[in-house]
Structure 1
Amino acid sequence: MTPPPISPTGGWIGALIFSVLFLAALGLFALRAGELVTLLAKARPEHRTDHINERIGSIFKVVLGQSGVLRDPIPGIAHFFTFWGFIIIQFGLLELIVNAYNISIPFLGDSPIFASILDFFIVFVMLALVVFAIRRAVFKPKQLQSALHGPWDGFIILGLIFLVVLTLTLVECFNYVATGGHAWTPLAAFFSPIFTPLGVNGSTLAYRVSWWLHIAVVLSFLIYLPRSKHLHLLATPFNVFFQNYKPKGALPLLENLEERDDYGVSKVEQFTWKQLLDGYACTECGRCNTVCPATNTGKPLYPKEIILGVKEALFVRSGEILGQDSLYSKLGIAGVKSDKTVEEKEAHHEPMVGGIISQEALWSCTTCMACMEICPVSIEHVPKIVDMRRSLVMEESEFPQEVTSLFNNIERNGNPWEISNDKRAEWAAGLGIPLLSENPDADILYWVGCMGSFDQRNKKVATSVAKILLAAKVNFAILGPEESCTGDPARRIGNEYLWQMQAMQNIETLNGYGFNKSASADGAGEQKHRTILTACPHCFNTMLNEYPQLGGDYEVVHHTVFIDQLISDGKLELPEGFDQRKLTYHDPCYIGRYNDTYDEPRRVLTVLNSNGINEMKRNRNKSFCCGGGGGRAWMEEKVGKRVNQTRINEALETNSEVVAAACPFCITMFEDGVKGVEAEEKLKIEDISEIVAQAIESKQPAVK
């Protein structure tokens, strides 16, 4: 390695001073990093090392490609250049560090190509900082605000980045003038006329001063970074790598219920290491708040505050978790943010659930997963909320009073109402639909669900689905009284025990009829192809994604997908353009974001309606929840605007006459919402199957 044109430290004494400062900064950084890692190591274990190829790919796409942040263009682009500027500047920093020992790195110290790339990013980082500063100081978007700390941490970080870039530019400029143009960079050449009057000696001195200033800022940044909100710079790559690759619609299983001492999370140390890592990785961008139906309708839930609350609880309890005699505690680096007041610090020495995180916030969640969908760093909000609900329900018996009857009825009657389960098949009277006990070799089991079986409005949907299957000559049957609630609402509310009880009962029934894919149907090694069909996204999701946790491995299909396949296979011929009404389609959360089913329902509607679909402004993976998920269909909505009315107003903005739905909960919530906004004469709510059944009955299409 060749020596640099000018030694910034001026000799071995300067190099020694630099070495001491550099090692001290690294030591402080390592101490804090060690504390953070140790806190994760003491958390509950969780397996996140499957799907290695996909995990590596996510690093390239999400971290290096910044795909998540770029979904919000203006701050996204600014963040993209800040991120890559940070990476490129590290190479420049490496060159400046070795300069301290009078050496230079080939292809860095004397490369005009690298100098040009570095200066390009310096310029764009400066522009990005301007964007960030204006956004925070002038526009002050609510999503960037937090109840857990003030705004100054963000400004401190912007200031440090600005000083890093500014001092680096000064280093370049003074070095260029002092070496007579030998240390060329585009910015130095551009600004050199300003500094030329200093002469060689003055520029040399200024170069050394600016070099020390740059190093001081960088080392300060290094020490401050793991103690600030920008801890996410370090944690994000790991959080993205360890993201969930199990079915995203499945909540984590609470194992060994009969042997456990706890049944959820009431203390921060009961979370898994990945759940705590989410807090480290949170960028506090607040995008989750912007899409949350509870937040958008004035409820006391802010998904970002849930994640920050968990992190705050962790840092407050870090001394106890690590042990009061730990080196970290003795050095007093518990990690509390610097911009808290004394009152704020004292106030946060309180329980996590019911203190830092309010119960009202937890019960406001519809589990729609919009927060997880939009998060640019793969944070998993919903499982944390349900874990805390589990503790409230199964340990404290603290939950909304109105769901008491729901729990009791599911346990006693196998459905959410005070209706005997023996009446589950009464809706099918006169339709000629066999029970599975009468037709045990049926190819398709139509899982009707509680809403289709007992709710008067949704019985019409069940009837429409049956008529479609009969028209397509599908060999199907229903379970009737042998069917019982899948337990989905109980699980989302937090009653894991009741869900597992219901799930095991249903799994035993389904396995008895040979629907488990893991079992051979005839004992000879060949398995009969059998499918469970349901019109309820909640039944669909829990049977497809969650029953495997307890040994129930089934092929489950949603009715919109099945109808689309019938049309594609030519088994169901529908009159094209049958429905001339203006219609819009609502994506249910549990087949949309939970299971990525977007195109099939639209293909069916496009066949039926030549006018196409008038999409609402929030559609597909950005769809706005109906408000009925997470057990909210059985809870009173006492605060803010009603979620269902908010969505209905979005439908009315499309000037549609019909909202095509694909979920019984959505239908119930929307029909209530239509009444609430007094739009009964303007807007009808119809399941896709009802529109298809109408087409079949009116045109009598040929059936193959």
Structure 2
Amino acid sequence: MNADEMAEQVRMCAACPKMCRHICPTFFAWRSDSPTPHGRALLVHYDNLGVRPLDERAVEVLYQCLECSHCLTWCVPGIDIASIVEAVRERIVAEERAPPAIIKMAETIESCHNPYGEDHTHRNDWVTIEETDGQGIVYFTGCTAAYRETSILTSTTKTLTGLGYNVIVTPDEWCCGSPLFRTGFKELALSQARHNVNVLNSIEAEAIVVTCPGCYRVLTQDYPENGLQLNKPVLHLSQLLADRLDDLPKGVLHARFTYHDPCHLGRHSGVYEPPRQVITRLSADGLVEMQRNRDNAMCCGNGAGLRTLFPEKSREIGAERVRQAVETGADYLVTACPFCKNMLASQSDNSLNVIDLPELVQMATSGKSPNGSTD
């Protein structure tokens, strides 16, 4: 999107009667017109006109956006506020005016190659994988599965091995760059990306599998858009499993399941059905949908730097999404994103179990839930 296109889009949005406001998760959290798609467009529009520059308050509002693109679902003219916000954030970073906590996050990724400040040498050195004679497949673990939601990583390697793949997890993997792309640190993101492309292209395998939708979006969209090409296809685990449904147990889980669509997997990548196909295959009782699902699904509240800057508001959004899941009467809330699972599980109580898709597969194949109890 060039400057003229962006100016025209924010002009149109600034004159709109704000039909998107009611589904914006940050409007839900703040109950203010400022942190809404319309409010952010007005700030950029006024700056373009020279009426009001992007002052400190404007920067704050622009970093109150989750870039979830839910507003785009409801926007009749199709104004892509998330992309506009991301482009303006790049300018804010270039002018060295990004929020201090976001700068610290970027510096942490640059030095540690993950946003958590963990020792990079221990990223994947704890992983044990059974070797097979099957087709080689690279599992790009992502930072959250490697350092925080480790059950997702181990469940994934067991699932892939069980399907006959020879799973490769490289210790040379760095952060995919998603947190950097989304918060305006594009050049730093590209330095992580170039490293990953070199590493992944040097590995002999048939495909790359990811469990993190942020990684999936970056590897399949941001990398090629910036001239970085991977020499093998990239699949989200749900896509691979959907292609192997006949190899998964059928109807063995006797519980009620609902599903949360991750923003990067759903709205940003158009992957809605594969996770549902897997859940429906494994469950004896099928899938019960939340009222807000697919391209109308509410964000979990954990993206684009919001949890770093505004943790309380981020948790409010996550708690609301959990409430929507509880309304379905489900026993389990399944997602297909380590970041989403991390947020939603933190806001859930014992009445609703939050698990990720590979953990669900392991429940079906082992007969045990992620906490080790018999299902």
Change (3 A) 1:596 1:607: same
Which residue number in structure 2 is paired with residue 105 of structure 1? none
Identity %: 27
**TM-align CA RMSD:** 2.3
Q: Distance in 2 between the 1:279 and 1:467 partners? A: 47
Distance 1:422 1:396 in 2: 31
Give 1:385's aligned residue: 85
Distance 1:544 1:276, change over 3 A: same
Contact 1:626 1:647 (8 Å CA) reproduced: yes
SS in 1 for 2:30: coil
Given the alignment of the two structures, is residue 471 of structure 1 paired with residue 149 of structure 2, yes or no?
Answer: no
Q: Give secondary structure in 2 for the equivalent of 1:584.
A: strand
Query: Quick check: 1:504–1:550 contact (8 Å CA) kept in 2?
Result: no
The structure where helix makes up a greater share of residues is: 1
- Any conservation in 2 of the 1:297–1:641 contact (CA below 8 Å)? no
The one-letter code of the counterpart of 1:543 is: L
- 2:130 aligns with 432
Structure 1 residue aligned with 2:319: 645
1:169-568 paired onto structure 2 within 5 Å: 272-282=3-13, 284-298=16-30, 300-314=34-48, 316-317=49-50, 349-351=51-53, 353-354=54-55, 358-399=58-99, 401-429=100-128, 431-432=129-130, 443-455=136-148, 458-479=149-170, 481-513=171-203, 530-548=206-224, 549-553=226-230, 554-567=232-245
Deviation at 1:276, TM superposition (A): 1.2
2:352 counterpart of 1:683: yes
- Alpha-carbon distance in structure 2 between the residues aligned to 1:279 and 1:489: 24
Deviation at 1:402, TM superposition (A): 3.0
Q: Equivalent residue of 1:444, what SS?
A: strand
Does the Cα contact within 8 Å between 2:59 and 2:98 map onto a contact in 1?
Answer: no
User: SS of the residue aligned with 1:310?
Assistant: helix
Q: Aligned equivalents of 2:127 and 2:314: distance in 1?
A: 40
Structure-1 residue corresponding to 2:341: 667
User: 1:272 is matched by which residue type in structure 2?
Assistant: A
Q: Distance in 1 between matches of 2:318 and 2:90?
A: 26
Distance, in Å, in 2 between the alignment partners of 1:470 and 1:298 is 45
AA of the residue aligned to 2:125: E
Please tell me whether the aligned partners of residues 442 and 477 of structure 1 are also in contact (alpha carbons under 8 angstroms): no
Look up the match of 1:586.
260
Count of residues paired in the alignment = 363
The Cα shift of 1:639 comes to 5.1
Q: What is the SS of the residue equivalent to 2:139? A: strand
Classify 1:396/1:425 alpha carbon distance in 2 versus 1 (closer, same or farther; 3 Å): closer
- Cα-to-partner distance string for 1:60-79 (whole Å, 9 max, x where unaligned): xxxxxxxxxxxxxxxxxxxx
Q: Which segments of 5 or more consecutive residues in structure 1 lack a partner in the other structure? A: 1-45, 47-270, 318-348, 516-529, 675-679, 700-704
In 1, are the aligned partners of 2:306 and 2:314 still within 8 Å (CA)? no
Equivalent AA in structure 2 for residue 424 of structure 1: R
Q: What amino acid does structure 1 have at the position aligned with 2:114?
A: N
The 2-side partners of 1:426 and 1:512 are apart by 19
Structure 2 CA distance for aligned equivalents of residues 666 and 673 of structure 1: 11
8 Å Cα contact 2:301/2:315 also seen in 1: no
8 A Cα contact 1:579 1:609, kept in partner: yes
**8 Å CA contact 1:427, 1:453 repeated in 2:** no
Aligned-partner SS, 2:155: helix
Once the 2 structures are TM-superposed, how far is the Cα of residue 272 of structure 1 from its aligned partner? 1.1
Mark the CA change 1:552 to 1:415 in structure 2 (over 3 Å): closer, same or farther.
same
Partners of 1:433 and 1:477 within 8 A in 2? no
C-alpha separation in 2, matches of 1:453 and 1:482: 13
Q: CA deviation at 1:419?
A: 2.1
Find the aligned partners of 1:406 and 1:512 in 2 and give their Cα distance. Answer: 29
Secondary structure of 2:285 counterpart: coil
| Structure 2 segments unaligned to the other structure (5+ residues) | 369-375
CA 1:433/1:367 → structure 2, altered by over 3 Å: closer, same or farther?
Answer: farther
Structure 1 distance, partners of 2:255, 2:17, is 41
Where 2:244 maps in the other structure, the secondary structure is helix
Letter in 2 for 1:603: Q
Superposition map of 1:160-175 within 5 A: none
Q: Residues 66-107 of structure 1, C-alpha deviation per residue, up to 9 Å, x if partnerless?
A: xxxxxxxxxxxxxxxxxxxxxxxxxxxxxxxxxxxxxxxxxx
What residue in structure 1 maps to residue 367 of structure 2? 698
Distance 1:298 1:641, change over 3 A: farther
1:537 shift after superposition: 0.2
Structure 1: distance between partners of 2:307 and 2:339:
7
Q: Is the 8 A contact 1:387 1:494 kept in 2?
A: yes
1:426 alignment partner, SS class: coil
What's 1:257 paired with?
none
Code of the residue aligned with 1:620 in structure 2: it is R
TM-score when normalising by structure 1? 0.49
CA deviations on 1:635-683 (whole Å, 9 max, x unpaired) are 3334597110111111111121110011001011011111xxxxx2201
Do the aligned residues in 1 keep the contact of 2:255 with 2:284 (CA within 8 Å)?
A: no
